[in-house]
Chain A
Amino acid sequence: MSITRSSRVAGLALAAIVVAAACSSSGATTAPASQAPASAAPATEAPASQAPVTGDIVIDGSSTVYPITEAVAEEFQKANPGAKVSVAFSGTGGGFKKFCAGETDANDASRPIKTEDKPDAKSEATTCKENGVDPVELQVAYDGLTVVVNPQNTWATCMTTDELKKVWDQGSTVTKWSDIRADWPAESIKLFGPGADSGTFDYFTEVINGEVDRSRSDFTQSEDDNALVQGVAGEKGALGYFGFAYYEENTDKLKVVQIDSGAGCVEPTRETIASNTYTPLSRPLFVYPSMQSLARPEVAAFFQYYLDNVNTFVDEVGYVTAPADILQKSKDTLAAAIAK
């Protein structure tokens, strides 16, 4: 008898807990939703006239563009608590594979989508089309690919693009700094760079080595730029490259290398990147939502918010804002895509 009574009590208690949890959670979702327009993020003008949207948005792609998208996503989620935006950074190439398979709603990219079909590999644009995914190209900012060395490296203040090619090219046998320039010390070089899934890798190899994905393979590869920062900051002879934002955030741990592409040594700064004086490593940054995903109201709202507010975030994160006419072009492309 005592067994059945205590099990009855336990069952009632369990039921009471479940009911209480259900009541409190449904209460919680209604309250913040009604407060959302009032408590919009101070840094931006959230579209107060728009009702808060709900839904899940999945974005992947470039680790370079990631800080911008993540910052936009955070503010968007504050204004729209029912929306959940998850942003990952598998690399531009890795992200496109997922995007063209329909697994993500948008792809961050630090290079334009590949449109050229090669004999051994279809281009990303073709793969997307075959799977019924229509990418919409929106340029959101500029980046200057920054080459960095360890702060204890006192000799490499400026390097030419030819020297960079000598170090990074496929089959390169450079193992010491003195192999690059005879008057540099014989310190061994430790290389750090993004892996083959990264748009930064694609862009760097294309402009420095002359061919996309052509590179030596004996270096520490990571799509996580923070790991690269750690790596370069930790070794005297280190040399690495990644997006400008990651350098700006860590100027105390890294030393920037000026790049000479024939017209003298240029240091990457916002001015030199925007004016393209820092060449050839200035590059546009993109976000590619798919037309199919834009049909959903939360995705459309997110990208409208993105383009309306991107300049604030780009400045915060450390990249270079795209000029007004390019941003306007992106906004027009987005509006046209949503209208379809």
Chain B
Amino acid sequence: MATTRPLPPLTRRRAGSERSIEAFLFMAAAVGVLTTIGIIVVLGYETLQFFTKVSPVEFFTGTVWSASIKPYQFGVVPLVVSTLMVAAIALVIGIPLGLLSAIYLAEYATPRVRTLVKPILELIAGIPTIVLGFFAINFLTPNILKALIPSIGGFSALSAGIVVGILVTPLIASLSEDAMRSVPRGLREGAFAMGATRFEVIRKIILPAALSGIMASIILAMSRAVGETMAVVLAAGTNPNLTLNPLESVQTMTAFIVQISLGDTPADSIQFYSLFAVAALLFAMTLVLNLLSDWIVRRFRNAYD
């Protein structure tokens, strides 16, 4: 029965330096929190200014967006629909590619293949998104999409969606693979012992067990796709068109923000405030998605210990 000896008391100098280190680390954490609070305050204030000039009803339900050409109309529905359409196409590409890569890496790949393939997959996440945008506009659309669908234009939601899908694949693959690898070996080995094939084990044991992690990765990928800017601006164009046809050129919320920022807008014009309103809406959407992903992980996590 060991009794723990009390630690020797800190000398005054060491206690002082301990406290200052703690204060310094606290300040570092506080910078992040304060920045977020600052962003929320600025967005909120300017958005309120916007809503004194344009009615929220018109903003949220209007179907025409004409921010620079008179008569000004600020219906955000075309921008939101375009953003969701591009994100949906991105998920259609990213989920199968990401999930299947994750299953391969977690269950089938030999350790040697894994050390080779996993870094290459994560390399895709490191490609600057503007480079992916150029890839879409200069290679994907003229050579591949035009060959498959001759009626497609130079800018389209499909092209943007494909490129953003490539972008989120490593995100889904990486997080899903981590989720799958954290399923305890005992479950796997028990299933094998009962005569299940490898694929049956994956389908019936691993995927359901890792489901919360996989779903969280999908929602994070969606939030990334919604917020993606440069690749979408280049590939989808700047036409605020309300359509569900992915072959047409559309303008997402992020593309609108870029368009107005690149031109010049005086600080008290309605376009300036519309910028903040759209940014606030985007912020709110990604916040909801991130909170949802947190909640799913917590609610559906299976505790195996």
Q: Could you tell me which A residues sit within 8 Å of B by CB distance? A: 60, 90-91, 94-95, 97-98, 170, 190, 195-197, 213-223, 227, 230-231, 233-236, 238
Contact = CB atoms under 8 A, between A and B. Distances in A.
Contacts of B64: 217-218
Contacts of A213: 69-70
Interface stretch (B90-98, B236-244, B276-284): B236-244
B155 interface: yes
A90 to B, nearest CB: 5
Contacts of B237: 220, 227, 231
A218 B263 contact: no
A234 B153 contact: yes
A197 B241 contact: no
26 contacts: A90-B263, A91-B263, A91-B264, A95-B264, A97-B266, A98-B264, A170-B71, A190-B249, A196-B69, A197-B263, A213-B70, A217-B64, A217-B69, A218-B239, A218-B240, A220-B155, A220-B249, A221-B68, A222-B238, A223-B262, A227-B238, A230-B154, A231-B154, A233-B154, A234-B142, A234-B154
Interface string B234-264: 0001111100000001000000000100111
Interface-centre pick from A60, A195, A233 (highest chain B CB count, 10 A): A195
B83 interface: no
B263 A223 contact: yes
Contact of A196 (B68, B141, B142, B241): B68
A90 B71 CA distance: 22
Interface string B5-26: 0000000000000000000000
B130 to A, nearest CB: 14
A212 B62 CA distance: 26
B68 A195 contact: yes
B137 interface: yes
Contacts of A217: 64, 66, 68-69, 73
B182 to A, nearest CB: 41
Interface residues of B, number: 26
Interface of B: 64, 66, 68-71, 73, 137, 141-142, 151, 153-155, 237-241, 249, 259, 262-266
Contacts, number: 77
Nearest to B241: A218
Given A214-B70, A230-B154, A234-B154, A220 B263 contact: no
Q: Which 9 A-B pairs have the closest CB atoms?
A: A234-B154, A217-B66, A94-B264, A196-B68, A235-B153, A220-B239, A217-B69, A197-B263, A94-B263
Contact of B259 (A95, A218, A221): A221
Contacts of B239: 218-221
Interface SS of chain A: loop
Nearest to A103: B264
Given A221-B259, A222-B238, A197 B68 contact: yes
Given A195-B69, A217-B68, 17 more contacts: A60-B264, A90-B262, A94-B264, A97-B266, A98-B264, A195-B68, A195-B263, A217-B64, A217-B73, A218-B240, A218-B241, A220-B237, A221-B68, A230-B154, A231-B153, A231-B249, A234-B154
Nearest to B66: A217
Given A91-B263, A197-B264, A223-B262, A236 B238 contact: no
Nearest to B68: A196
Contacts of B68: 195-197, 217, 221
Contacts of B240: 218
Contacts of B142: 234
Nearest to A222: B238
A240 to B, nearest CB: 11
A97 B154 contact: no
Contact of B141 (A97, A214, A222, A234): A234
A316 B303 CA distance: 71
Contacts of A234: 141-142, 153-155
Best-buried of A98, A170, A235 by chain B (most CB within 10 Å): A235
Nearest to A190: B153
Nearest to B151: A236
Contacts of A94: 263-265
Contact of B264 (A90, A214, A216): A90
